Amino acid sequence: MNAISPQRLSSQRRLPIVIVGHVDHGKSTLVGRLLNDTGSLPEGKVEAMREMSRRRGMPFEWSFVMDALQAERDQGITIDTTQVRFQTATRPYVIIDAPGHKEFLKNMVTGAASADAALLVIDVTEGALEQSRRHAYLLHLLGVRQVAVVINKMDMCDFSEARYHDVAKGILGYLEEIGVRPSAVVPISARHGNNIVTRCKHMDWYSGPTVAEALDNFLPPKSLTDQPLRFPIQDIYKFDERRIIAGRIESGALAVGDTLTFSPGGRTAKIVTIESWNEPEARTQAVAGQSVGITLDQQIFIERGHIAARAEARPIETHSIRVNLFWLGHEPLVVGRSYILKLGTAEHDVTVQAVERVIDVEDLSGRGGDRVERNGVGEVVLHSRSTLVVDDFGDFSRTGRAVLVDGYDVVGGCIIQKPKTDEMPAHNLIATAHTLTAEERSISNGHQGGILWLTGLSGSGKSTLAMGLERELFRKGVQICALDGDAVRQGLNVDLGFSPEHRSENIRRVAQVARLFAESGMIVVTAFISPTRADRAIAREIGGSFFHEVHVAADLDTCETRDAKGLYKKARTGLIPEFTGVSAPYEAPVNPELVLDTGKISAEGSLADLARYTELALIRPARRGSKTKAV
């Protein structure tokens, strides 16, 4: 292990690795042994620890090594990600320790996300338990693609080849299903140092690499310079006469003279300089991983969160993404709730549109639902009113991932799936239009504008339904507003009475207002008796394609029995003249878009029917519409 000079080693990049697995499967023991067997511990350290164990009257454990190195033996604070360095003959490593305890998933994620490779430790006597699987699944989500499995405690099963194959088969099957192909499955005994650095004579049936060899076989991370350019803007500086666009090149390369296209929007400009300080000569090009600053030949409107790329290979612009997500929040992720999505340097308000699958990491089965619980994983659709600039994680690891923030806290991480072919976003459609179109509004809102015109007798439940729908859809992030007869008559139509002419004028004005709201992208739900076919025909004419007539069809007896406002009683005694259903006719719709018989169906049931209709008529078409347009 000493064939290489320490000097050369330490100037090499340390490969960060993470060791994961179920609690008590031997991670700390493996680390202690790795440090010792690679000759990475200070001289006398192990002797001192053996002596200390003897004094305390407890058997020496290799796991003490790491605890001691971190000076945390007595403080009991081994719960967090710590970093331990060691080196093999080939290169230096830093181990990011990942605790096995379930509650400490956020620390495991913090550690594992910065690792280039992972060792998954499994106790041969227990096999892969729930935590082993959860960790493996998270490695996959975090983008750690290089994994070696270590099957520990082989001494406990008499170094049985059959037992090894049994456990190996189980975990290999699981890993294959999540798309992880381990580079090795090493049978070891960490406690006795078998197959850590030196081969074990009890396991001559095994011809694969030792743990040290498996580590040395891992590849350093691939440079992202050969990929298409992704240069997210981090900030724009005007400290002096220069206007410097600062950011880190996440993939690809750029050079002075290159033309960049910025997303969203598609504005273009040419790079004039690559700025730097205290460098012998001016930079003319820069590559992935570098934090740079550039100046452009034009003062275009760009800001933090925009991404520069080349015109022929731009990122995707969309309002809705499907992601694989892990959730760390104390509160579950719930459909309809909003979070902040941090996507590179951009931040967006997003609403959870759907939880498509909640994944059981044990058997990888998926089930539907409306929430992902703490420490859970799932497949979720997020919608944003602002334009998201994203990549498929499979192609671009850096710009294809994001975190979710709830209040002050980071509560989850997600990787972005490739949009399905029939969901390709309407790419450049938006940038060129000069005025906002209904289509642009509906793409951003995630639904179309529309008018749900509720008509029916007094007491049929129109207002209750309108308010209920407003509340339910508002929760899902829908732009919705209810227009109620009483409210309108106290404001906009305060000058109108109840004569037939005034009633017609009342309806006409309400229809006009509803149309304006609908055109601005909102869903308007109106609650007016609107008793005559003629008046509703005018409303339909004004509403045009936005108009949906909903007959709230409780019969007169039902409404009169309810008589919540006491109006029927007054009408019967003649206190209210021309009261619909009593002293004035109600003309039921001939061909309404929807009939809700609130006399027979409960209020909740009718609300559910109305919500379902709205979903089908106004929400789903917008989602399809936003995705079927070709680029």
Q: Would you say 50 or 242 has its CB closer to other proteins? A: 242
Asked whether the beta carbons of 564 and 609 are under 8 A apart, the reply is no
Within 8 A by CB and 6+ apart from 517, the residues are: 449, 451, 481, 524
| Residue choice 39, 52, 53, 72 for contact with other proteins (CB under 8 A) | 72
Catalytic residue of the set 320, 530, 606, 626: 530
Q: How many residues bind other proteins (CB under 8 A)?
A: 61
Q: Is residue 394 within the footprint of other proteins (CB under 8 A)?
A: no
Stretch that binds other proteins, among 17-25, 183-191, 208-216, 401-409 (CB under 8 A): 401-409
- Shortest distance, position 142 Cβ to other proteins, whole Å: 7
- Shortest distance, position 476 Cβ to other proteins, whole Å: 25
Q: Would you say 135 or 441 has its CB closer to other proteins? A: 135
Whether omega before 264 lies within 30 degrees of 0, making that bond cis, reads yes
User: Which residue type, as a one-letter code, is found at position 595?
Assistant: V
**Is 530 one of the annotated active-site residues of the chain?**
yes
Closest listed residue to residue 112, CA positions, set 139, 148, 141:
139
| Residue choice 170, 193, 289, 419 for contact with other proteins (CB under 8 A) | 289
Q: Would you say 414 or 527 has its CB closer to other proteins? A: 414
Q: Is residue 248 within the footprint of other proteins (CB under 8 A)?
A: yes
User: Is residue 250 classed as helix, strand or coil in its secondary structure?
Assistant: coil
Within 8 A by CB and 6+ apart from 612, the residues are: none
Strands (E), 344-393: 346-359, 366-369, 371-372, 377-390
> Binding mask 96-125 vs other proteins (x if CB under 8 A, - otherwise)?
----------xx-xx--xx-----------
Q: Would you say 107 or 606 has its CB closer to other proteins? A: 107
Strands (E), 240-279: 244-248, 253-255, 259-263, 267-275
| Residue choice 183, 285, 290, 386 for contact with other proteins (CB under 8 A) | 290
Q: Is residue 81 within the footprint of other proteins (CB under 8 A)?
A: yes
> Binding mask 314-353 vs other proteins (x if CB under 8 A, - otherwise)?
--------------x-------------x--x--------
How far is 489 from 496, CA to CA, in rounded Å?
7
Number of neighbouring beta carbons within 10 Å of residue 418: 15
Q: Is residue 536 within the footprint of other proteins (CB under 8 A)?
A: no
Distances (CA, A) of 524 to 156, 463, 466: 70, 13, 9
- Shortest distance, position 420 Cβ to other proteins, whole Å: 25
Distances (CA, A) of 419 to 45, 317, 593: 55, 11, 33
Burial of 105 per CB tally in 10 Å (0-12, 13-18, 19+): buried
Q: Would you say 62 or 327 has its CB closer to other proteins? A: 327
Q: Would you say 145 or 509 has its CB closer to other proteins? A: 145
Within 8 A by CB and 6+ apart from 429, the residues are: 439, 440, 629
Q: Would you say 177 or 226 has its CB closer to other proteins? A: 226
Asked whether the beta carbons of 264 and 306 are under 8 A apart, the reply is yes
Q: Which residues are catalytic?
A: 530
Contacting residues toward other proteins, per CB under 8 A:
6-7, 10-14, 42-43, 69-72, 74-75, 77, 79-83, 85, 106-107, 109-110, 113-114, 142, 223, 234-235, 237, 239-240, 242, 244, 246, 248, 275-278, 287, 289-291, 293, 304, 328, 342, 345, 401-403, 405, 407-410, 413
